[in-house]
Every structure is written in C-alpha cells, then in structure tokens.
Amino acid sequence: MGAQQAADRFAELYGAEPEGVWAAPGRVNLIGEHTDYNDGFVMPFALPHQALASVSRRTDGILRLHSADVEGGIVELRLDALAPESDPEWTAYPAGVVWALREAGHEITGADVHLSSTVPTGAGLSSSAALEVVIALALNDLYDLGLQRWKLARLCQRAENVYVGAPTGIMDQTASACCEQGHALFLDTRDLSQQQIPFDLAAEGLRLLVVDTQVKHAHSGGEYGRRRAGCEKGAALLGVDALRDIPYDELDAALARLGDEEEVIRLVRHVVTEDERVERTVALLRAGDPRSIGPILTEGHASLRDDFRISCPELDLVVDTALAHGALGARMTGGGFGGSAIVLAEATDVDTLTKTIEEAFAAASFTTPRAFEAVPSAGARRLV
C-alpha cells in the first residue's frame, strides 16, 4: 500500500483526510544477536518492508485503531483505560506507544489511526517495532513533542517491555527509527551512540539474501526471557553491570570463574564473542572488505546454535545448504526459535542458492521458505 492509498483508506474509514502519513521499516540484523540487553553492540539495517500509519489527532481521549492486515473493524480504546498487559491483540503495539508517551508526561489527547504493513510477521524482521515506531513518530510530529529518534525508540521499547510484556532490548526500535538508506547502523546499546556504516553490497557484486523459514516465533514466550535472565545471572556472578563489561581477551578467565554453571557459561561465551564479532565486522566494512565478513556471520550462527541454543532445524538447514553451495557466510538473524536466516553471496550465485535452499526444504518436508534480497533502506519518516 502506498501513501496515497493509505490516506484514501483512512478517509473511507474515518470520513476525513488524515493529517499525515508516516512510514517505519522492519530490519535485518547483520550481526550482534542477543547483545542488546547486555549493553553490547548490534549492527542492523532497515528493510524496504515497512509499516504505514495514516493518523489524525482527536481531543476527546479516544484512540481509534484500524489495521488493513487484520480481520475486523475499527477498535476504539479510552486513553485513560490503557493498562499494561491488558491486551493480547495487535492493538497492544500502537496502544502501548500511546500509553508510554502519556506515562512519560506527554499530552496526547487521542488519535484516529489506520495501519498497514509489508513487514512479514513472526519472521524475526521486527514487524512489531515497525508498528511501534511509526505511531511514535506520527504522534511526535502531530503533537509537536520534539523527541529525538533515540528517545522515541526508548519509549517504544518501554511499550513493548511493559505494555505488551515482551522483555526485548533496544535494537529493533532504534533500527526502525534511526537507520539510513545504504547504511548499516553500528549501535552501542549502552549509551545509544550510533555510527552509520556504508553498506552497499550491490556495488561490490554481492547480495544479502533473507530467507524466511516460515517458522513463526514470539518474544513474549518464555525462552527469550530465560536467555535474558541467564545473561543477567552471568553478569551478577562475574560482578559486572552487564556482560558488555567482560573484555574479549579476559573471556577464558571469566568463564573459569563461573565454575560448573554450564548454561551460564554458554550464554556468557556467546555474548562476549558476539560483541567481538560486531567489532570485527565494522572494521572490515570500514576497510572496504565486505566479502571477508562472511566467515564472521557463520561463526555467529554456530555460537547462537551451540552456545545460545536458539536455532532450529529450518534455520540450520538454510545455513548449511547455503555454505555447502558457495555462500560466503550465513546465519540466523533476530531473536531465534524460527524466523529468518541471512545469506551473504556473490550476486551471480543467488538464484542457484535460492533454488537449492528451496529444494533442501522440500526434501526435508519443511514449509517452502520465502527468500528475498535485503537492500539497506531508509529509516522511519513522514511521507505526506
């Protein structure tokens, strides 16, 4: 759906043109997985897939929400009745943002909203962050709140953590709010400092494929929270604020101090080595050597599979098949337990790789995966 179509649909639903139309993208994380709630480094980039919101203000304390992607009509909510973990439906994402803004003291007196999204859901590509950020940006503009992008991302994270009840980190919301076309975002999740790293694979004759395994995942389920709690336990046992504080070259000594805490040892090892992988990736991209990041992506997958234990047979099959047929590197991306993998390959190999992965899925009797090329795209913005 384009901006004009989104505005036209809003007018049909609510009987007047919207005050504006905004867009916020989904993201792919290149490297830096499960590091964001450990104060570590991440490196996502925005997808061309995005959520669109047509929005107008109201003055009567009512929030009206409609989604083109969900069966059913307009959902009407009273702002003063919004309460954390009270809504198991899609409406919790936009309503949670309104709740978080109001709770932070911003005067929001209501809104009419029409949403639509091309970000695949449950695919590890941040469909929920796109919904949150598009609403936050629209209300920031319409209510003239003057909040900076990183602050909007924080409020969206609060909506997701407290209102929706999913204990996620800050990566996805910051990616959607702050990414820039043609760049990957090198983000330090401790202080939210950002560097835009030029990332134009096409110019180098390379492609990054996203392969959505169609295995749906959810972060409000227990496994994500268990990994997070395990990391926090590791930091506490090692006497640091966050696992980010364990230097890579002191990892072995730190692990030795964890004694027989086997699970914590695996989690700590993943997080500390993953931060180092992000730093190595940034250095190689800065040096103009994108082909060399392939093996780092593959190392990251092994760490997520064996130490963090959040892969699944479908993700492993994408990675193994891609590597066996000439890919430069491959790994699962996002929260895990399903979702998508990324494959870095020579442009000339992409068609064969896609076909080979589809054949491998058919041979394993897995649902046909959906593959597409990921092009680093623009972050959230006003369209109309």
Between 189 and 214, CB nearer to ligand GAF: 189
Q: Shortest approach of ligand GAF to residue 32 CB, angstroms?
A: 7
Which residue out of 39, 112, 172, 307 is catalytically annotated?
172
Give residues with Cβ within 8 angstroms of 380, minimum separation 6. Answer: 22, 23, 24, 25, 133, 134, 137, 149, 176, 177
**54 vs 161, beta carbon nearer ligand GAF:** 161
Judge whether 160 is annotated as a binding position.
Answer: yes
Smallest separation (angstroms) from ligand GAF to the CB of 376:
18
Minimum distance from CB of 336 to ligand GAF (Å)?
Answer: 7
- Per CB under 6 A, residues contacting ligand GAF are 29, 33-34, 36-37, 168-169, 171-172, 219, 334-335
Output 34 or 277, the one with its CB closest to ligand GAF: 34
Minimum CB separation of residue 171 from ligand GAF in Å reads 5
Residue 172 bears catalytic tag:
yes
- The response to whether 220 counts as a known ligand-binding position is no
* Residue 116 among known ligand-binding residues: no
Cβ nearer to ligand GAF, comparing 33 with 307: 33
Residue 122 annotated in ligand binding:
yes
**67 assigned to a ligand binding site:** yes
Catalytic residues: 172
- Binding-site sequence positions for substrate: 33-36, 224
- Binding-site sequence positions: 33-36, 67, 122-128, 160, 224
- Binding-site sequence positions for ATP: 67, 122-128
